[in-house]
Every structure is written in structure tokens, then in C-alpha cells.
């Protein structure tokens, strides 16, 4: 940004606090105009400097004026000439000093002052920096900045640190690499840090709790040290020792932030030294860190010290890899000693340090071509590794195992044979049944297999499966480890070691014959499968492919593919890995990185692929046969393997293969054509029985797979096949596969060229076959058209209107994927026309247009005209589809359309709202919703006058969720245009709906506000849009537009689904839910055999606790049975759920009978048990139970055999039956005490309860 642009911003202040600066700038400019001085950076600088002298005097400081003047100086100074800044340095510094030292100076004054100093200091030359700190010069200014860099105010502190960074990163021209002030900055920062560290330690020793008050200052000082270290390219060599000592002392602080800050300083220093220009400081730094080694068992200081050492040698390995590697044995010996520590933290830190050494300090040259010295270093490392497995380090074995894993990963193939003893020791530990770390040991053995190769490891730890000897354990547990870790090894080993073993095991299985399989036979079967599961690893970039993959091995593999169905998957993965792993090496850009290439160079990988191509023809024949004999659901991995070998097959053999497949396909099609309907039906039934697809389907799959690898001259045959099958409507699945051929060809450059050349033929083919397309093939046909559209030349744009009617009608397809493809194709067609705007569309070539139809110019409006043609159709289905298609393209291209086109569309749809056909109106509602949401407000507001009344007509229609849809649209209108605008045009009889929507929105808003006050998070759609953040519920803006208001109403929006072409599905649950039915008194014992009976796949009904309620009594404690009250009956036992009587009929009664509180249960010995439990709560009030009811009944109505007439005591149908909830209901049919006598259906009087008076 230029000076003038910055000043323009000040001249047009937007904030109140910027007005003062604006006034000062205006005054300065007026002065310059009066003096006829040019408003240049120099002129501004001189005027502002004079003004600064006036605002800052020795007597007082005009704070407001000084703030504005210094702010403007900060803006102008970077643009002032550097000689001027050097000559006026002392004058400016003297004037700025009072502002910087002012006790009440705040951030608005200090920050621009720091900015001025920064620009001044950057402009100074070497001579100025030689002045001492006592003189008025740059060093005094930098001292002031260092003081502000540890200020307690964060903004000032940050600005000062930024200024120091810029000054140190821009040294004056001189022979020295470092800035002249770097030493001074380092010394000041270090002194500040050291003094604060001493004060903090003393405060902690005095136990006065004063240590914490120094921590903020310490963190600020650490930040300053980090700033100086980062800016000056590392720390000055002379100051390294003192700094390391202080930092290590700080890093043992209990404050995690301080420790992290100290580490960050080390990290910054090391990063600075990674540069070759400053790397000379690194040896001294590492030497100092090594000398500062803490005590052997210092659990606070050792972990940070080890971490710093690790990082230091990581940087050293980048600069001097060879020298660092030579030091590795000494470093290993130094760090390994800490693994014997009793502190877990120290052991973990030591193991991570050793892992870092192995990952970073072993150069590639050692792996590829080690010298004699390198081999000696490797031997020393191996001895240290074996020593780590001794009893001395037993407590740290888990950490040691991690180190061993890192050694195998770091040394790769050089681990053989130097780490053989490590493998033997860990293998013996793993074989011990009492050893607890089997999982960790398996991982180390796996890494050893990957590094050393399976052959070397199996020599040390043989499997002992073929001929087990006495005292030698079998190691079948190694087979899964081999499966997971074998790669980049010799394929020969599998042939010599595992194939004989597999044959021997398989022979034992065959010896069993047809007899029932014993456990031993099943074990042998499993071993055969495990052995062949190793083959993919051996085929992953083998080192001896050309020697070991010979004719005999290829025949063996072919026989297994034919005969051993269970092993097909592993064999196909192996054949695929042979090709893919070598292709990956060929694709590597850096040819020199042999470590990345895993000992197989690009030249070797190319030779391997050429060698494999010699077998590809025969291998493809085998794979084709196996593919045709495999069920469709198990063909995936075979097809991948076929694809891989097709990619390396020579052109001549590929053509022969293609011709064989096409010949068979043509004969199969010829048979299909001559078949009668009865024969086809019989064949279909046979296929259903066998579950195998017809041969023609299988051959077509192979043709599609081969197609992208074919040369250009064979594409004629390919297109002939496609043209024959596409018009065959007798076999929809075959037709579907034929359409898939076009998208498949588009995957290869050759295929794309062919599609461009034969575009006219394909267009004609697709147009001619429109009548023959079957429903299952519709989606693939649309996908084929989608593939063809981008390749249309400019003179063939008439294909779009020719095929458009089919695409539009597909928007109403039953198949969801077909609808989605149709919508995507509509957008693709629109974008094609937009990209070719100005081209001519020859309508005379469109099939349903007359020969003299005029040509039109391609543009987006013309595309909308084409789609709109369907609105004139006689069929309601076509009209509905056209409206749906228009809705989709309107949403996508709404910003590109002219206002007149939009207005016409909205007006037309407004008319269609009055249509009588529900299918058409349903589509129109979707269109209206998109208009309301996305079109400009000034376009939509005038249309509300007719739109709202027309919508309201359908708000009374309940079919097809019309009422819900209309309500959605009205909600959106109210959101966007306001309730008043909608209400204004709403018919009087429908204004209740508007009022309901408005009240619902206001109520929801109140609830949201209340939730926010309560601390709940929530925001409506508008807030989400305002923040520019897309909510995760919707995949696109269109989804949100269509479904955005569904949370406001329960109505489903089916037509919106069809417009979008996506259905709103709930995510399928990965597994069924299960529930535990627990007793209230004790938890379920999952170890009990009967626990399964308490596991339910359906959510159990929550038992409603039965609680006793107080019976109504008078002042004398007598029952009141005839009160005239709101509740017509006194409920003796009620449910806690509001006293509602639950209908226990049907399923509810059955569930309660078997799972309820009083359900019958079986005890030990199968005896039936009945629950006699009562509620534990005994209230002081009078409780009424079954006996009370019986007694009352007896007193009232005599013998229980008497029948009541009228209202009396009714027995519910069991507990909580239809008579009421609880154990029974006493209806109000008799007078209570104190009431006048009433005549009822039966006499009697109420006596006291047998339990005595009720207590109050």
C-alpha cells in the first residue's frame, strides 16, 4: 500500500478516535500548501517533526496531540529517504524519548512511537551502530525497545518484539553476518531472564508463595529471548552456555507453560542453526548441552535435557550426517544408561530420544554403501541393543522394545545379520507362556521380518511345523505376523519354504477324504490358508521376480485359481501386487533415491513389468475363465487383477485377446437373437437357479474392462458391438452394460480422442435408440450422454435440444439415481451452452423440428427457452417434469439470467398455480419455493399480489402434503419479505394461517433467547448465513434452500426431493441396538447363565412406579367417599405419570405380565416365585391398601357376593385395569360425613377403617 492510500484512509475516518488524527493531518497539509511545499514524504516528515517538538516539551506532554503526531510519523517514516533518517536520528530520538518514558503513556502513543524507532533503526549504517549506549545513538534506542519488549501490557510487548525482529533481520551492510546489536540484545535478554529466574527460585525457597508472581515476567523474558534468537539466526556463540544453563533450570519448573516456552527457545535456536551460514555455532551448542548433564535420577530436569539433546542431534544430522552417525554409539551409551532409572518419565524420555536417533541420524549412504567405519558403528549399535535386553533393564523392557522397533525401521536391510541376537532373544521371550508382552514382542518380530527378510528371521526362529523335533516348539503363531509384515523380499523363499509345507498340509487334509473333519484336519486347512495368505507380501516388490516367477510357478498359481476357491482372493491379490508395486517404483520422480525405491531401481522395475507382460496373455486367459465361473458378488478382486494385467499386455496380444472375447460375444448375441420367448424364459429360470449371469453379460464386462487399453484402430469393432446391444431391449442388463462403455472410454486419453472423432456417430446412435431404452438402463444412458456433452464440437450443439426432452422427462424417473443423473446432465448442458455462447444452434437438424426452422444463437436464455418448450405439452407428466427441470436450472443459473427472463418465468409459474392438476401444482410449489428463497427481493415483491392468493388456494388441500408445502413457502416469505408484506395480499379467510406462522416464529425466538441466556448454543438459518458458515446438515446451497425450513413444520416435501434428485435418508445404523432389562433392586449379573434372558433387542417399557396416595378423610379421620369434586373417583393407587389411566389391553398388558414388577419369575429348580414386595415409603398419612378396600367394601355393601347397583366400588381388570388405575377405584356415589342424606341405589353406612383412625 502506498503512502497516499494510507493517508486517504486517515482523511476519511470511520471511527470517533480517528478524528483527531484527521484534524492534525489536515493542519499539516494546510501548512505545506501555505509554504508552497510539495506534499512528499520528506515534506510530511519535516512538518510532523516540527509539530512533535511543540507537543513534547520538557515541561509537559500534550498527550492527545502527541499521539496523533506520532501516529502520522509512524505512517510517513518508512517512506522518508534513509539519509534523512540517519541525519535526523538524534533529533527524532530526543523528541520521542519523553513520549516513550511518560509514566501515563498508553498503547495508542507507545505503539506508533515503537514503529517510528523501528523505521529509524533499520535505516542506520554501521558507523552509527558503533556508538556506545551512553551516547545518543541506535544502541540507546534498542535498549529502550528491549525494555518495552518485556512490558506487562501485551500489545506494547508484541509491537516492541516485532520491531526488534525487523531491526535484527535487516543488518547494515558489513562483513559480519550478525547484526551489530545482536550481542547486546542477547546479553540484555539473557540478563533479564537470569535475574528473574534467580528471584523466582529464591521466592520458592523462602516458601512465601512468592515464586508465582515472577512467572509472568519470566514468560515475557523467555519470549524476548526467543525473539532475539529467531531474528539473529541463532544465539551468539559466546552466550550459548549461559543461556542453556538458565533454560534448563527454567524447564524443570512445575509450570507447564514455562517448560514449553523454554523448549520453544531451544527449538528456535536449533532452527536458526539448521541454516548452513550459522551451522558453525552448532557443535559448541551441543557440547554445552552435553556438559550440562543433570543428575542421574533428576526426574524433573532429565526429561527436558534429553529432549533438547535429541532435537540438537536431529539438526546436526541434517547438516553433517556422516559425523553425527559416527557419534551415535557414544550417544547410545550415554542415553541407554537412563533406561535403568527407576523413574518412568526418565525411561520414556530416554527411549524416545533413542528412537529419534535411529529415525534421524542414520544417513542413506550407510544403508546403500556402508564403509568399514560405518560397519563398525553398526556393530557397536547392535551390541548396545543386545545389552538393552539384559536383566539390568528389565523394568524398561516395554520402552526397550520400542527402541528395538526403531532400530529395525532405521537400519532396514542392514539389520541382517547384526541384530540377529536381538531377534533370537525376543523370540525366546515370546515363546515363554508366562511372558506378558506378547503383543509388543510380535510387533518387534514383525518389524524384524520387514527389515531383515523372512528367510533370515526363520533361520533364527524356525516354524517347526513340517517335522517338529523333541524340545523344539512349533511357531504357528508367526504365520499371521509374516502375513502382515513380509514385503520387498525374495519370492524364491516362498517357493522353497512354504509351497512344500502347504503341499504337505494339504495332503493331510486330502487323506481324510469324505470322512467327517476332525479338529486336526480343520487345523491343517487353516494352516494351508495362512500359508497362502503370505503370498501377497512376497509379491510386494520382490527382489528376484525375473528368477523366481517362472513358468512352473505360473502354472501352480493357475491351478490354484481353478481348483482352490478359498485361496483365489490371496492369489489374485498377489498377482495384482506384482504389477502395482513395480508400477509404483516406475512412477517415482527422483531416480536417485534408492532407499525410497527399496533396492529396486526404476530400470529394474521396468524390466520386471516387461517380464510379467510375457505371462500376461496366458494369465488373462486363466483369469477370464475363473471370472466367468465366479458368482457376480465375488468377482471384484478378479476384475482388478484382470485390469492390472491388461495394462501391461503388449498391443498385439491384447488385440488377440480382444478378438477372442468379441468373437465369443457376437456368437452369444447371435444365439440370443434366435432364441424363442420360451427358451429365453427357460434360460432365465436356469440362471436364477445357478445364480450365474448369462455368458453374454460376463463377456460384455470383459469388453468394457479391455476397452481403455485398446489401440485406436480397434475402436470400430467396439462401437459396432455397442450399437448392436444398445438397441436390444430384450435384455435390459446387457443394454445397461453397453451404455457403460462410453464413460469407460472417457477414462483414457485414447478413448477421449475416439469420442471426439466419433461424436457425430454416437449422437445419432443415442438419438435412434431413445425408443428402445429399458428402465434399468436409463441411468447409464444418461451417464453416457453426460460423458458425450463435453466432447461436442461447436457445430453439433443441436444435439442438446434433440435429446433434451428425454432428459427433462427423466427428472420424474422412479429411480433416484436416474433422477440425480438427469439433474446433473441438465446443469452440464447449460454450462456447455454458456461456454459456447455466440455459437449457432441449427434447429433444422433437430428431429422434431421442421426443416426450415431458423437457427438460434447459443446462450443461457435460449437454453431456458428449450426447457420451457415442455410447458406446452398436453401430458401433465411432461409439464410437471419441465417445471421440475426449470426449477433446478433456475437455482443454478439464477445469477446469469436477465431480469426479464426471470420475471417471465415467475409470471408463468404464477399462472400454473391455478392449474387443476395436482401433479403440475406440486412441481410449481417447488419452483415457487426456490424463487422465494433465491431470486432478488425487488423482483419478487411485486409478484406477491397474485402469488400469495394463488398459494392460499392450495393451503386447504391435504393430499400430497400440499398444506405443509404451502406453509413452508409462507414461512420463507415471511422470513424474507416480512409478515406485513405477506399479510397485505393474503385473503381475509386465510389470515389465520399467517398469524399462526408469525406467532410460532415469535414463540420459537423466545425459546431460543431463553436457551441462550441459559447458556445453550443455538442459531437460526439466517445467523448461519450471515456468518458465512455452511451448516453440516446440507451438502449444498440448493439443499439448504429446498429443505431449510423443514424443522419448522412436520410436513414432508416430496416434490423438493424430486427436484433435487436426492432423498433424505436417515443414516443407517451399523448394528442393531440392544437393551439391558435390569431389576430395580440389584444390577444384572452378566456372568450369570440366565443373563441373556434380560437382553432385549427392543426398548423395554419403563415401569411406572406405583405410589400410594392419601385417602380423603374428614376432621375425625373418617373416609370421605362421596365428595363432589373434579375427579369423579378417589384413586387409591395411582401412577406417577399424571394420574392417567393406562389402557393395559393387548400388547401392553402382555409385556407388563411378563416383565412387570409383579410378574411371575422362576427361581432355583424352576419353581415359580411371586413378588410380595411393598413400596418402602411409609407415610405418616393414612395408607389405603387392598385389605382396607375389602373392609370398606364389606362395611358398605355387606357380603362381597352382593352386587352393587349404580355407582359403587368397581373392580379394575387387574392392576390398573379399565375400571381405573391403581388397585381399585371407589366412585363417588355415597355421601360423606357432614353431608346431607342422599338417596342412592343401595343403603349402608360408612364405618371406620379396621386399621383405626387416620393420623394427621
pLDDT at 1048 (0 to 100):
38
Q: Please, what's the b/e burial string for 283-298 (b: 16 or more CB within 10 A of its CB; e: otherwise)?
A: eebbebbeebebeeee
pLDDT one-digit tens code per residue, 169-184: 888 877 666 777 777 8
Rounded to 5°, the CA angle 1065-1067-1072 comes to 125
Residue 988: partners with Cβ closer than 8 Å, 6 or more residues away: none
pLDDT at 1252 (0 to 100):
43
Residue 708: partners with Cβ closer than 8 Å, 6 or more residues away: 744, 745, 747, 748, 750, 751
Model confidence at 609: pLDDT above 50: yes
Model confidence at 580: pLDDT above 90: yes
Rounded CA separation 608/548 (Å): 11
pLDDT at 1182 (0 to 100):
42
Residue 38 has phi, psi (to 5 degrees) of -70, 135
pLDDT at 496 (0 to 100):
93
- State the angle between helix axes of 107-123 and 89-101 in degrees (0 to 180), rounded to the nearest 10: 160
Kindly report the average pLDDT of the chain as a whole number: 78
pLDDT at 1172 (0 to 100):
56
pLDDT one-digit tens code per residue, 270-279: 776 666 555 6
Of 973 and 1092, the one with more pLDDT:
973
pLDDT one-digit tens code per residue, 191-248: 888 888 777 777 766 655 545 566 788 888 888 887 877 776 667 667 777 777 787 7
Model confidence at 432: pLDDT above 80: yes
Q: Which three cell numbers stand for residue 167?
A: 531491526
Model confidence at 483: pLDDT above 90: yes
pLDDT one-digit tens code per residue, 362-397: 888 888 888 888 889 889 998 988 888 888 888 888
pLDDT at 1213 (0 to 100):
42
Rounded CA separation 1079/1159 (Å): 12
CB 583 within 8 A of CB 612: no
Model confidence at 252: pLDDT above 50: yes
Rounded CA separation 567/319 (Å): 51
Q: Is 100 helix (H, G, I), strand (E, B) or coil?
A: helix
Model confidence at 102: pLDDT above 80: no
Residue 1038 — very low, low, confident or very high, per pLDDT cuts 50/70/90? low
pLDDT one-digit tens code per residue, 619-644: 999 999 999 988 888 888 999 999 99
Of 1248 and 1112, the one with more pLDDT:
1112
Rounded CA separation 765/715 (Å): 15
Q: Please, what's the b/e burial string for 780-813 (b: 16 or more CB within 10 A of its CB; e: otherwise)?
A: bbbbbbbbbbebbeeebbbbbbbbbbbbbbbbbb
Mark out the alpha helices in 254-371 (DSSP H runs): 256-273, 282-291, 302-319, 321-326, 328-336, 344-360, 364-368
Rounded CA separation 768/756 (Å): 19
pLDDT-above-70 percentage for the chain: 75
- pTM reported for the whole predicted model: 0.66
Model confidence at 1233: pLDDT above 80: no
pLDDT at 821 (0 to 100):
93
Of the candidates 930, 929, 927, the one whose C-alpha atom is nearest the C-alpha of residue 908 is 927
pLDDT at 352 (0 to 100):
93
Tell me which H or E stretch contains 1076.
strand 1075-1076
Q: Which three cell numbers stand for residue 683?
A: 434360460
pLDDT one-digit tens code per residue, 493-526: 999 999 999 999 999 888 887 788 888 888 889 9
Mean pLDDT of 975-983: 86
pLDDT at 1256 (0 to 100):
40
pLDDT one-digit tens code per residue, 312-355: 888 888 888 888 889 889 988 889 988 888 888 889 999 999 99
CB 126 within 8 A of CB 174: yes
Q: By CB neighbour count within 10 A (0-12 exposed, 13-18 middle, 19+ buried), where does 211 fall?
A: buried
Residue 526: partners with Cβ closer than 8 Å, 6 or more residues away: none
Residue 1250 — very low, low, confident or very high, per pLDDT cuts 50/70/90? very low
CB half-sphere exposure, 743, CA atoms < 13 A: 13
Q: Please, what's the b/e burial string for 925-934 (b: 16 or more CB within 10 A of its CB; e: otherwise)?
A: bbbbbbbbbb
pLDDT one-digit tens code per residue, 1140-1188: 434 444 455 555 555 565 666 666 655 666 655 554 444 444 444 555 5
Residue 1095 — very low, low, confident or very high, per pLDDT cuts 50/70/90? low
Which residues are bridge partners to 1108 per DSSP? 1133
| Residue carrying C-alpha cell 458425450 | 788
Q: Which three cell numbers stand for residue 974?
A: 415471511
Which residues are bridge partners to 1075 per DSSP? 1096
- Of 69-73, 643-647, 1176-1180, the range with the highest mean pLDDT is 643-647
Amino acid at each position: 500500500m502506498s503512502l497516499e492510500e494510507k493517508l486517504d484512509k486517515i482523511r476519511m475516518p470511520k471511527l470517533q478516535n480517528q478524528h483527531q488524527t484527521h484534524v492534525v493531518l489536515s493542519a499539516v497539509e494546510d501548512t505545506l500548501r501555505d509554504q508552497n511545499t510539495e506534499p512528499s514524504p520528506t515534506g510530511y516528515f519535516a512538518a510532523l517533526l516540527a509539530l512533535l517538538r511543540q507537543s513534547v516539551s520538557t515541561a509537559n506532554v500534550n498527550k492527545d496531540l502527541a499521539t496523533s503526531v506520532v501516529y502520522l510519523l509512524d505512517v510517513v517514516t518508512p517512506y522518508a529517504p534513509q539519509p534523512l533518517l540517519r541525519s535526523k536520528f538524534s533529533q527524532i530520538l530526543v523528541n520521542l524519548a519523553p513520549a516513550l518514558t511518560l509514566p501515563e503513556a498508553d498503547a495508542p502513543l507507545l505503539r506508533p512511537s515503537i514503529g517510528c524507532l523501528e523505521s529509524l533503526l533499520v535505516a542506520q549504517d554501521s558507523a552509527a551502530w558503533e556508538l556506545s549506549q551512553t551516547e545518543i545513538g541506535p544502541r540507546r534506542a534498542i535498549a529502550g525497545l528491549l525494555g518495552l519488549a518485556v512490558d506487562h501490557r501485551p500489545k506494547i510487548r508484541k509491537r516492541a518484539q516485532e520491531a526488534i525482529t525487523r531491526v535484527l533481520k535487516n543488518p547494515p551492510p558489513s562483513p559480519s553476518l550478525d547484526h551489530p546489536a545482536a550481542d547486546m540484545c542477547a546479553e540484555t535478554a539473557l540478563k533479564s531472564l537470569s535475574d528473574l529466574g534467580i528471584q523466582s527460585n529464591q521466592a520458592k525457597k523462602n516458601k512465601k508463595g512468592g515464586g508465582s508472581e515472577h512467572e509472568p515476567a519470566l514468560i515475557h523474558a523467555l519470549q524476548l529471548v526467543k525473539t532475539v534468537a529467531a531474528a539473529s539466526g541463532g544465539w551468539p556463540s559466546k552466550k550459548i552456555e549461559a543461556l542453556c544453563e538458565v533454560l534448563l533450570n527454567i524447564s524443570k519448573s512445575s509450570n507447564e507453560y514455562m517448560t514449553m516456552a523454554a523448549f520453544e527457545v531451544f527449538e528456535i535456536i536449533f532452527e536458526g542453526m539448521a541454516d548452513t551460514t550459522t551451522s558453525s555455532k552448532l557443535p559448541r551448542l551441543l557440547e554445552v548441552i552435553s556438559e550440562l548433564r543433570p543428575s542421574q535420577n533428576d526426574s524433573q530436569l532429565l526429561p527436558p535435557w534429553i529432549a533438547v539433546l535429541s532435537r540438537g542431534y536431529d539438526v546436526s544430522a541434517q547438516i553433517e550426517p556422516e559425523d553425527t552417525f559416527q557419534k551415535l554409539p557414544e550417544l547410545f551409551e550415554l542415553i541407554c544408561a537412563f533406561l535403568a532409572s527407576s523413574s518412568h518419565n526418565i525411561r520414556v524420555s530416554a527411549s524416545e530420544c533413542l528412537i529419534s536417533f535411529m529415525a534421524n541420524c542414520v544417513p542413506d549412504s550407510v544403508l546403500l554403501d556402508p564403509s568399514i567405519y560405518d560397519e563398525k558403528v553398526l556393530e557397536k549399535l547392535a551390541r548396545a541393543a543386545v545389552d538393552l535386553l539384559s536383566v539390568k533393564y528389565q523394568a524398561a523392557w516395554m520402552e526397550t522394545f520400542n527402541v528395538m522397533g526403531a532400530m529395525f525401521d532405521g537400519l532396514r536391510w542392514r539389520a541382517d545379520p547384526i541384530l540377529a541376537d536381538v531377534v533370537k532373544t525376543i523370540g525366546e521371550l515370546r515363546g515363554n507362556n508366562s511372558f506378558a508382552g506378547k503383543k509388543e514382542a510380535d510387533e518387534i518380530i514383525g518389524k524384524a521380518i520387514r527389515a531383515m527378510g523372512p528367510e533370515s528371521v526363520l533361520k533364527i526362529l524356525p516354524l517347526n511345523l513340517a517335522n517338529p523335533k523333541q524340545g523344539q516348539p512349533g511357531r504357528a503363531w508367526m504365520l499371521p505376523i509374516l502375513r502382515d509384515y513380509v514385503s520387498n523380499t525374495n519370492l524364491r523363499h516362498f517357493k522353497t519354504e512354504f509351497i512344500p509345507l502347504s503341499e504337505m498340509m494339504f495332503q493331510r487334509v486330502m487323506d481324510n477324504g469324505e470322512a467327517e473333519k476332525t479338529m486336526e484336519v480343520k487345523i491343517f486347512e487353516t494352516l494351508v490358508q495362512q500359508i497362502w495368505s503370505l503370498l501377497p507380501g512376497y509379491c510386494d516388490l520382490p527382489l528376484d521376480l525375473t528368477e523366481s516367477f517362472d513358468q512352473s510357478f505360473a502354472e501352480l498359481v493357475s491351478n490354484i485359481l481353478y481348483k482352490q476357491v478359498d485361496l483365489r482372493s490371496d492369489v489374485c491379490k498377489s498377482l495384482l501386487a506384482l504389477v502395482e508395486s513395480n508400477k509404483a517404483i516406475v512412477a517415482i520422480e527422483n531416480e536417485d533415491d534408492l532407499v525410497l525405491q527399496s533396492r529396486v531401481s526404476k530400470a529394474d522395475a521396468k524390466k520386471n513389468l516387461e517380464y510379467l507382460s510375457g505371462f500376461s496373455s496366458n494369465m488373462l486367459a486363466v483369469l477370464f475363465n475363473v471370472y466367468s465361473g465366479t458368482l457376480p458378488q465375488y468377482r471384484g478382486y478378479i476384475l482388478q487383477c484382470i485390469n492390472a494385467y491388461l495394462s501391461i499386455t503388449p498391443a498385439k496380444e491384447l488385440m488377440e485377446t480382444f478378438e477372442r472375447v468379441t468373437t465369443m460375444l457376437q456368437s452369444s448375441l447371435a444365439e440370443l437373437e434366435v432364441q424363442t420367448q420360451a427358451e429365453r424364459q427357460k434360460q432365465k429360470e436356469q440362471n436364477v437357479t445357478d445364480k450365474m449371469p448369462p455368458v453374454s453379460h460376463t463377456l460384455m464386462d470383459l469388453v468394457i474392462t479391455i476397452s481403455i487399453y485398446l489401440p485406436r484402430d480397434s475402436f470400430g469393432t467396439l462401437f459396432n458391438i455397442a450399437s448392436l446391444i444398445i438397441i436390444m431391449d430384450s435384455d435390459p442388463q446387457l443394454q445397461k452394460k453397453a451404455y457403460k462403455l462410453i464413460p469407460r472410454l472417457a477414462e483414457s486419453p485414447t478413448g477421449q480422442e475416439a469420442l471426439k472423432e466419433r461424436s457425430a456417430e454416437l449422437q445419432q446412435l443415442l438419438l435412434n435408440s431413445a425408443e428402445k431404452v429399458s428402465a434399468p438402463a436409463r441411468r447409464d444412458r444418461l451417464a453416457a450422454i453426460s460423458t458425450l456433452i463435453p466432447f461436442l464440437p461447436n457445430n453439433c450443439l443441436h444435439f442438446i435440444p434433440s435429446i433434451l426432452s428425454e432428459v427433462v422427462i427423466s427428472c420424474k424417473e422412479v429411480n433416484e439415481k436416474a433422477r440425480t443423473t438427469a439433474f446433473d446432465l441438465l446443469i452440464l448442458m447449460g454450462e456447455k451452452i454458456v461456454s459456447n455462447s455466440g455459437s449457432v444452434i441449427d434447429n433444422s437438424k433437430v428431429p422434431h423440428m421442421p426443416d426450415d426452422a431458423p437457427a438460434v444463437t447459443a446462450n443461457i436464455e435460449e437454453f431456458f427457452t428449450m426447457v420451457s418448450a415442455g410447458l406446452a405439452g398436453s401430458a401433465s407428466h411432461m409439464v410437471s417434469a419441465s417445471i421440475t427441470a426449470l426449477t433446478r436450472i433456475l437455482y443454478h443459473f439464477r445469477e446469469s439470467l436477465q431480469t426479464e427472463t426471470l420475471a417471465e418465468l415467475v409470471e408463468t409459474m404464477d399462472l400454473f398455480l391455478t392449474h387443476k392438476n395436482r401433479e403440475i401444482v406440486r412441481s410449481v410449489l417447488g419452483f415457487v419455493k426456490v424463487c422465494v428463497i433465491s431470486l432478488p427481493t425487488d423482483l419478487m415483491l411485486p409478484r406477491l399480489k397474485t402469488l400469495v392468493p394463488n398459494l392460499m388456494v392450495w393451503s386447504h388441500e391435504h393430499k400430497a402434503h400440499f398444506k405443509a408445502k404451502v406453509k413452508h413457502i409462507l414461512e420463507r416469505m415471511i422470513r424474507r419479505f416480512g409478515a406485513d408484506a405477506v399479510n397485505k395480499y393474503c385473503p381475509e379467510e386465510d389470515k389465520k394461517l399467517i398469524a399462526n406462522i408469525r406467532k410460532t416464529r415469535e414463540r420459537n425466538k423466545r425459546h431460543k433467547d431463553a436457551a441462550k441466556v441459559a447458556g445453550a448454543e443455538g442459531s437460526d438459518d439466517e445467523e448461519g448465513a450471515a456468518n458465512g458458515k455452511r451448516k453440516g446438515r446440507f451438502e449444498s446451497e440448493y439443499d439448504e434452500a429446498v429443505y431449510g425450513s423443514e424443522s419448522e413444520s412436520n410436513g414432508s416435501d416430496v416434490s423438493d426431493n424430486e427436484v433435487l434428485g436426492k432423498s433424505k435418508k436417515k443414516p443407517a445404523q451399523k448394528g442393531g441396538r440392544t437393551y439391558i432389562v435390569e431389576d430395580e433392586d440389584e444390577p444384572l449379573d452378566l456372568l450369570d447363565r440366565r443373563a441373556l434372558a434380560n437382553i432385549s433387542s427392543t426398548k423395554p417399557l419403563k415401569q411406572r412406579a406405583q405410589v400410594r396416595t392419601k385417602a380423603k378423610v374428614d376432621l375425625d379421620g373418617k373416609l370421605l367417599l362421596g365428595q363432589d369434586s373434579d375427579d369423579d373417583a378417589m384413586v387409591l393407587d395411582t401412577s406417577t405419570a399424571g394420574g392417567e389411566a393406562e389402557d393395559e389391553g393387548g400388547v401392553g398388558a402382555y409385556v407388563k405380565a411378563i416383565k412387570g414388577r409383579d410378574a411371575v419369575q422362576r427361581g432355583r429348580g424352576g419353581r415359580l416365585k411371586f413378588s410380595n414386595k411393598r413400596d418402602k415409603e411409609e407415610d405418616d398419612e393414612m395408607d389405603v391398601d387392598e385389605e382396607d378396600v375389602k373392609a370398606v367394601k364389606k362395611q358398605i355393601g355387606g357380603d362381597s357376593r352382593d352386587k352393587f347397583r349404580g355407582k359403587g366400588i368397581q373392580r379394575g381388570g387387574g392392576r390398573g385395569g379399565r375400571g381405573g388405575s391403581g388397585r381399585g377405584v371407589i366412585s363417588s356415589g355415597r355421601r360423606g360425613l357432614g353431608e346431607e342424606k342422599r338417596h342412592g341405589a343401595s343403603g349402608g353406612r360408612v364405618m371406620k377403617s379396621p386399621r383405626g383412625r387416620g393420623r394427621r
